Amino acid sequence: MRYVVAFILKENIDGEALEWAAGRLLQHSERRKILIVRSEGAPVDPATLKRNDTKVILDRHLHEVIAHVGSKSSIPLCAIGNQHDVSAHYPISRRVDRAEDLVDVVVDLLDQFQQSGRQKG
């Protein structure tokens, strides 16, 4: 199994980061792929907020990308909220409040997808 890790740390452009990561993951030949997003809560970019006076654009874009990845690709998608509940954006999500709990949460999510894969085939 191969893992693709992608970080875009400069700005909180979650939708663009998710598009980029999904595109990179689709280029790999592995039969099973899982995309786990680690999020700080909501997409907020200072330049976009300044220009548009609202976070609606980034939020809407993120929801569109999540829907697209979920319906148009074969990649299961889930998220881990870093001290935030991200279930408003990601249907399959967990919250992590302490860094030392991150490994357990990732293993739990991978196990969940492994079990769902066994049930399907």
Q: Which candidate, 71, 68, 1, places its Cα nearest to that of 34? A: 1
Q: Which candidate, 34, 44, 42, 33, places its Cα nearest to that of 10? A: 44
Q: Which candidate, 63, 61, 58, places its Cα nearest to that of 44? A: 58
Instruction: Determine the distance from the C-alpha atom of residue 24 to the mean position of all C-alpha atoms in its chain, rounded to a whole number.
Output: 13
User: Where residue 105 falls among pLDDT bands split at 50, 70, 90?
Assistant: very high
Residues 45, 54: contact at Cβ < 8 Å? no
Summarize pLDDT for 26-69 with one digit per residue, the tens. Answer: 888 888 788 888 887 665 555 655 665 555 777 788 888 888 88
What are the residue boundaries of the structural domains of the chain, listed by start? 14-116
Instruction: Determine the distance from the C-alpha atom of residue 23 to the mean position of all C-alpha atoms in its chain, rounded to a whole number.
Output: 13
Residues 35, 77: contact at Cβ < 8 Å? yes
Where do the DSSP E strands lie in the chain? 35-39, 77-82, 93-96
Task: Provide the token pair at 5.
Answer: 């890790």
Summarize pLDDT for 28-37 with one digit per residue, the tens. Answer: 888 878 888 8
As beta bridge partners, residue 9 has none
CATH of 14-116, one of 3.90.190, 1.10.20, 1.10.150, 1.20.1630: 3.90.190
Strands 35-39 and 93-96: unpaired
